[in-house]
Structure 1
Amino acid sequence: MKTADNWTARYEDFLACSDRLTEELDRFERQMRASKAMLDQAGKYTEHVDAISKRISGQVEQAQAAWSKADDIAAQAAKVAYLSAFEGVKSSLNTVTEELARSIQANNKAAALLSRSFTQTRNSIMWLGGAFVISSGLAIFAAVYLASIRPSPTDLETSLNAARFELIWNNANKQEQVRLRKLLQRTPE
């Protein structure tokens, strides 16, 4: 029996080892697939890097060609820049000159209007001053004339008293008239 047990134990060990081997092979297969996917992706990256390096190489060649032509291009660019700057300054000076001429014309018109306005204002002030002097003189003359033709309050009182006295005198008899004469001849005390 010992032999059978030995054989069974070995068979069980064999089964356990074969299960582990199957698991390891499955794990190895999964890692191989992952490695293959990584290799495929690395291949794509390599192609991309290769394309970029070819593009960089082409740009380097273009830069070298441009660098060799840089002096000619710089001279042409300087000439074009000089001409553009000269034309820009020329056109801006023309514009400034035209605007300055318009501004001078506008200032001259404003000065002429101001001069006319000043002259008109001065003449208006002179006429107004003269009219004021004349109207003041007429007002003073009218006031003096009205004052001279209008009797004063004292004259009015004297005229009223004279009218009363005449009324009293005309209504008085001879004896009363003598008495009134004596009263009038008396000096006030």
Structure 2
Amino acid sequence: MGNSIDSNAMPRLAQSRLCDSAVDRHQNQSPTVANPSKLLILFFYRGASMAIVDTSRRLPSRHILQDIESFEGTGAVPSFPAARPEAKPEFLQAALQTMQAMQQQETELLAKAKAAADKARLAEWEFHNAVMAMKAAVRGHFGPDSDEAQAVGYKKKSEHKRPRRRAA
């Protein structure tokens, strides 16, 4: 049996590579696919185990609330078969507590960040007002056409363009 595929004896990585090559052949519409039923089986195997999930975005709050309700509903199911370790009630309880602790920490840090942003904004305004007072004091003491007024950021009065009359 040279071309037969025994999925129990083949490692997952080899199945994945075989699936990739079979899908590539299928997408290219190549007539070289030897057994289309095995292609279909491998395609479903790959699709079921390799779901693409974007964990960089936040879950909508309604999904989280539905998940919490589902978790709380497991109390009505006396002993459900949890074949996967992450589906066991102890793991679910720990995951819920971890999520709630991280959300609380995030809320506290956001509050601290907002408070720090407010303090920074107030300090920026205080500094700006102090600079404006200094510039006004320099201009008042040395005059609007002085080199000192120019040094603190003003333009000398003599360097301003004079308004021209418009031709009628």
With the length of structure 1 as denominator, give the TM-score of the two structures. Answer: 0.33
Higher Rg: 1
Bigger relative contact order, structure 1 or 2 (CA pairs below 8 A, ≥6 apart)? 2
With the length of structure 2 as denominator, give the TM-score of the two structures. Answer: 0.36
